[in-house]
Amino acid sequence: MLKKLHKIGIRLARPDILFFCLPWLMVLLVVGTVAQRDLGLFRAEQLFFSSWVFWWGPLPLPGGALTLTLIFINLCAKFIFKSTWSWYKSGVILTHFGILLLFIGAIFTATTAEEGYMTIPEGWEKSVIQDYHKKGFYIFKNEQLIASYEISDLVEGQHIVLPDTPVSLHIRNVCQNCSFAPTPENQKAGKHGLAEKITLTARPLNPQNEANMAGITFDVKGAEEDENGFYASTEAAPHAIHISVKEDDYRLQVQREERPLPFTIRLIDFQRDFHPGTMMAKAYRSDIEVLDGEAHWPAHISMNHPLRYKGYTFFQSSFAQTPAGEATILAVVKNTGWLFPYIASIVIACGLLLHLAIRKGRSKYE
């Protein structure tokens, strides 16, 4: 059994795997990079780098995830079954170990990391983070989430029934990226809320995924007479749709996925410094307060100086002008594998330096 395992290991450690996988990875890298111009980073990443297989016309081709997995297996097998454990090869072994660490860190990050952002106007506090990409249609009953649908799963003509009620929603239109136009006067009859003011129509996706504004339109049937009709909801406008059934309030809303934070962040002040006489930003800085239970303390977040607390890291990402005033936009990341690249980079550097030093010493000796 061990012999068989060893044999498989030796085969998996063959240098041919690396020799043919690396050029393919480079091709993916070039194609995926150039494609970002038209597809945007998010879609190009999904298509070329995060995919196991992607289709080029009728031809299935290995994606970045599959290629990297093959390289990882090849490196593992090489490390375990084919490493020459000698002083002369110690630099190489250390370098390979560092790369393995980097891979392990990447796997950790890919499987466990959570990314999102918070937009907090000055003086406000928030304890939820919003996802950059996941968008959904959410149904709350008395402010308790009872159902959610990813926008990409909704289709025209779909029926959604509000649980335990005679009320049903008939999806009329779904757009991943909506354009907004005023609703003509002669078309306002039977429309409610946002739909009375604006009409949503689909437009081509923006390469920058964050710029796409999803929305849906639907008919409500089976509710009170004055609440039946045509509705619209979009993530671009914070207008929730409220439908009353008996004593219960149902809130319907298209929004980005929200995740709760185990503490609260309050923005005290946001500052932008410009290089004098220009509109070029010199520094961004958010003076915040962290509120965790009874405890609260001030903290500062600025470019290159994030705040780390309870496994979450808050980065100064951007800013916005909101109806509530100037707001900071903080990128929020929860990544248990964040230390791996730091350790891996030190190990790789040491390994390469050691290898060069040993080679130099040996060539001198020879």
Q: Site residues (CB under 8 A) for another protein?
A: 15-16, 18-19, 22-23, 25-26, 29-30, 32-34, 36-37, 40-41, 44-45, 49, 102, 105-106, 109, 113, 115, 207, 274-278, 280-284, 303-306, 313, 315, 317, 331-333, 335, 338, 341-342, 344-345, 348-349, 352-353, 355-356, 359
> Which of 40, 62 has the CB closer to another protein?
40
Strands (E), the chain: 53-56, 59-62, 114-121, 125-141, 144-150, 159-161, 168-175, 178-182, 198-202, 215-221, 229-234, 241-245, 248-274, 281-292, 295-302, 307-309, 312-322, 325-334
Q: Which is nearer to another protein, 88 or 342 (CB)?
A: 342
| Residue 198 or 330 having the CB closest to another protein | 330
Shorter beta-carbon distance to another protein: residue 243 or 307: 307
Q: Which is nearer to another protein, 221 or 334 (CB)?
A: 334
- In whole angstroms, give the CA distance from residue 192 to residue 251: 14
120, with CB counted inside 10 A (0-12, 13-18, 19+), is: buried
CB atoms within 10 A of CB 175: 19
The nearer residue to another protein, 8 or 356, going by C-beta atoms, is: 356
Minimum CB separation of residue 92 from another protein in Å reads 9
Q: How far is the CB of 30 from another protein (least distance, A)?
A: 7
Tell which phi-psi region holds residue 322, choosing left (phi > 0), alpha (psi between -120 and 50) or beta: beta
- Min dist CB 26 to another protein, Å, is 5
Least Å distance between CB 230 and another protein? 36
Instruction: Report in angstroms how near the CB of residue 135 gets to another protein at its nearest.
Output: 20
218 vs 314, beta carbon nearer another protein: 314
Length reported for the chain: 366
Question: Residue 157 phi/psi, 5° resolution?
Answer: 90, -5
- How far is 163 from 159, CA to CA, in rounded Å? 12
Residue 287 pairs in a beta bridge with 269, 300
Q: Is the dihedral of CA 273, 277, 279, 281 positive or negative?
A: negative
Min separation Cβ 59 and another protein, Å: 23
- CB of 333 vs another protein, minimal distance in Å: 4
